[in-house]
Amino acid sequence: MPTTPTAHPLAPLPLALLPAAPLPAATAQAERLIALGVPGIAGLDPAELHAAAGTLPPGALLVVHPDRAPVSALAPLLELDGRPGFVVEDMTDVDAFGPAGGVELPADAVYAVTGLDRGDGMRNWSPAEALPALGAAGRTPLTLGEGVHWLLQCPEVLERNACFMTVGSRLRKGDGRLDARTPALWISNGTGRDGRERRGAPKVGWCWAGNRHTWLGIASAAARVPR
């Protein structure tokens, strides 16, 4: 993985946004989550997902709050070319990663996220460089749970050498400082502790917060919409 150079080659603005893959219709998103068993994970009646889908803004992503549907439970539901998703072995505390970078989640059990962007225009940016630029552009960094929900609906968003960090989630230590890890979603190469059988599988992992990666964008959204 590339290390962090001392100076960033790009000006922080303007922020280049690329068109996202079209999301399924709201009702189809609800049905997808129901088929995957997410209501059982979240303690929700399937009717609640249908009701939330009925209020979804056009082109928005349906998201179940991480307090109800933690990433550790959702990651195995990810799938790419028949291979299930997984969380890396050195991220057993994945569910302790909470909103950061100015992110405030709606209190609702189900909410919407609009204006998704994979962050291709921010490849080779560090999270520290990206957050001010996103804020200046009126954008909000995607959380890990939101990124997982996106891939549950649109697995094709994850492409080799074109994956993304979710810098809206960070782990805060007991002393108030942020853990140095930043969550990311990418495709396993089947090396090391991942195991050869996981080659090509969607992977919940992490990167050092100060590093840049040419193959990782920094995903963001326009807004979060409560029910």
Per domain, the residue ranges of the chain are 26-225
Q: Show Cβ contacts of residue 148 under 8 Å, excluding neighbours closer than 6 positions.
A: 71, 74, 75, 78, 85, 185, 204
- C-alpha pair distances (Å), 218 with each of 37, 99, 115, 203: 29, 15, 14, 16
Lookup result for tokens 């919940």: 204
Per-residue tokens: 44: 């929700």
Confidence at residue 19, expressed as pLDDT on a 0 to 100 scale: 61
Q: Where are the alpha helices (DSSP H) in the chain?
A: 26-36, 38-42, 46-54, 71-74, 127-136, 144-153
CA 26 to mean position of chain CA atoms = 19
What residues in the chain have per-residue pLDDT under 50? 1-14
pTM score over 0.95? no
Q: How many CA atoms lie within 13 A of 196 on its CB side?
A: 0
* pLDDT of amino acid 7: 39
